[in-house]
Amino acid sequence: MSARKPPPGDFRKILERLSRRHDTRRVFDAFTRLAACALAAQTREAEYLEEVKHWERADLDLFAEALGTLVNEMESKPFEDVLGGYYMEFALSSKGQQWNGEFHTPKHVCDLMAGIVLGDKESVSAKGPITVCEPACGAGAMILSLGGACSPEVRRRLRVTAIDISRTACDMAFINTTLWGIPTRVIHGNTLSNEYWSAWSNIHHIAPWLPLAMRPQAPEAAEQGQPPKPAEVERIRVSLGQQELAF
């Protein structure tokens, strides 16, 4: 994405039009699901077709219009979590925040933490993948700050594992990292209990050595939505410093 002034339009107002006839949270969940699938380079078609069955043609047109205006706004706010801010303010109730422990980390805090993680940029390895694990990613605000703090060359070498217990958060993180070109594997799971239910790789993460047009045919693309395999779960456990429990 490149920064430019967006044309008139606001994805929030478009979603609010849908919310006059449907529950606000249901509208937002559907929007993020459909948008994530649309950005997955035809690797999440089954999910897309399952979701569209619940909406009328006019609703789907509004969802598509909302995605276009969201992209325009994101281009004017580089590496900022626009989606997460709207989710916390409008789609999630205050009780939901309290019960689920969901809070939006301000961008300046995310930027500070990204700088701490990267440290001296000269210390970043000059070659090979740079692995990052975000065990409670939310909409991916911290991942965006990390990506924004890297040069384009370093950003392409990132291999982010983003995990969240909220399925909606997973879809938001998938959208954010895909649009900003951050290679990310998004996992729906609980890092505290070491349970993982589904996983999706964005197009930047899938077989990055292949041309973009060939990546949807890679084995990783065929496994979209499936649970992580035991070897991947073990890598996550080790990366988080979790000890094997003995009974």
**Residue with more model confidence, 119 or 163:** 163
- Judge if 151 and 206 occupy the same domain: yes
How far CA 42 is from CA of 26, 29, 30, 222, 224, in Å, comes to 24, 20, 17, 10, 10
- Judge if 121 and 57 occupy the same domain: no
- Judge if 96 and 204 occupy the same domain: no
Helix 24-38 to helix 45-52 angle (10° resolution) is 150
- Structure confidence at residue 101 as a pLDDT band (50, 70, 90): low
Is the distance from CB of 168 to CB of 51 less than 8 angstroms? Answer: no
Domain of residue 41, residue span: 11-100
pLDDT digits (tens, 9 = 90+) for 150-161: 999 999 999 999
- Judge if 45 and 115 occupy the same domain: no
pLDDT digits (tens, 9 = 90+) for 48-65: 999 999 999 999 999 999
Output the six-digit token pair for 173: 């993180």
Please state the domain count of the chain. Answer: 2
The verdict on residue 188 lying in a domain is: yes
The verdict on residue 244 lying in a domain is: no
pTM beyond 0.85, yes or no: yes
The verdict on residue 203 lying in a domain is: yes
The verdict on residue 53 lying in a domain is: yes
Q: 100, 125, 152 — which closes off a domain?
A: 100
pLDDT digits (tens, 9 = 90+) for 102-156: 667 888 899 998 988 887 655 677 788 999 999 999 999 999 999 999 999 999 9
For residue 12, pLDDT over 80 is answered with yes
Q: 82, 100, 118 — which closes off a domain?
A: 100
